[in-house]
Structures are given as structure tokens and as C-alpha cells.
A and B are shown apart, each in its own frame.
Chain A
Amino acid sequence: MDILRIAVLGIAGVLMALPLRKEKAEYSAFICMAVCTCIFLFVITKVETVLAFVKRLETFVSIDSAYLALVIKMVGITYVAEFAINVCRDAGYGAIGNQIEIFAKMSILVVSIPVLTAFLETIGSFI
């Protein structure tokens, strides 16, 4: 039911952006950005429910909440980076998209360093 609205919104956006692509490419990029933002706002409501579920799950399974927060941060970085990369690629600027992609990967790596160190320490303690 929700997916129908999203699909219609996406197709309407594309059909509106197409005629503008030849003369005025910037307006088709604007429309694409507006449709992406609109659909992203719908995605966020879904993400909130998933995050609530994950928080509830935390009480059953004794996961250290720090690692869960890191995972959520990584998901957030991926979402934002994906949004920016696709908007840049649609406008035709793949190079900028790749730069954002590299930056996103690096920031995820940096965020995951504590997890790796904890993992290595536990391994070290076994040996």
C-alpha cells in the first residue's frame, strides 16, 4: 500500500524531469533531488521502527550497546553517502560521486576501528 505511493511518486518525478533534461538539465537534477528527498523521508519512518525494534532486541540479547551504536552509525553513514552519490551520478558527475564514496568508506573504517581492536584483544587473550 505504501509502496504504491512511492512507486507512483518516483515515476511521476521521472516523467516530469524527462522533458526538462534536454533544454534545462539543472531542473531535471532538482526534480530528481526533490523526489529522492521525499522518498528518503518515507524511508526514515521505516528506519525508526527498525531502530526501535533493535533497541528492544538489545534487552533480550546482552550485546554491548556501544557496538550496536557503532553499527547504527555505519548504517547512517551509508544511507547519507548513498543519497549524495546517486544524486551526483544522476546529474552526470561520477567523479564527485566516487570521491564521496571513498570518503564514506574511510569514515566507516574509522568508525569500526574500536570494534576491530576489541576483536583482536579477545583473540589475543585466547592465544
Chain B
Amino acid sequence: MSVNLIFKIAAVGILVTVISQVLKHSGREEHAFLTSLAGLIIVLFWIVPYIYELFETMQTLFAL
């Protein structure tokens, strides 16, 4: 699970970059911004539980 998360994030990043470039050149600035925002939120939803699980294990392991 952990490794292909990185590949998924890279894929979303590249996709959003390409889409926003295309939208920018076709004159729709706000759409480009919206797509990059959407990509950001998707990746955030993927990565936050992952980091939360990491900190959870840290807490139980070190009795913080």
C-alpha cells in the first residue's frame, strides 16, 4: 500500500499539471485553478490518514 501511494501522488501531480497547462492555454484560468485545487484535496485525503497512522504508532510505541 505504502509504495504505490507515492506513485499515485506523482500520477495525480503530473495529470493536474498537464490539465492546468492545457486549460491555461485555452483561456480558462479559473478552471485550471479549480482542477489543481481538486487534485490537491484528493492527494490530501490520501496522505492524511497515512500520516495519522504513523503518528498513532509513534504515540503507542514511545508512550508519548
Task: Please list the residues of chain A having a beta carbon within 8 angstroms of any beta carbon in chain B.
Answer: 9, 12-13, 16-17, 19-20, 23-24, 26-28, 30-31, 33-35, 37-38, 40-41, 44, 47-48, 51, 69, 72-73, 75-77, 79-80
Q: How far is B63's CA from A77's CA once the two chains are assembled, in angstroms? A: 10
Q: Show 21 A/B contacts (Cβ-Cβ < 8 Å), sorted by A.
A: A9-B3, A16-B7, A16-B10, A24-B17, A24-B36, A26-B40, A27-B43, A30-B47, A31-B13, A34-B9, A34-B47, A38-B6, A44-B58, A69-B63, A73-B63, A73-B64, A75-B62, A76-B59, A77-B62, A77-B64, A80-B58
What residues of chain B have their CB less than 8 Å away from a CB belonging to chain A?
2-3, 5-7, 9-10, 12-14, 16-17, 20-21, 36, 39-40, 43, 47, 50-51, 54-55, 57-59, 61-64
Q: Which 3 A-B pairs have the closest CB atoms?
A: A76-B62, A27-B13, A16-B10
> Chain B's interface: helix, strand, loop or mixed, by majority?
helix
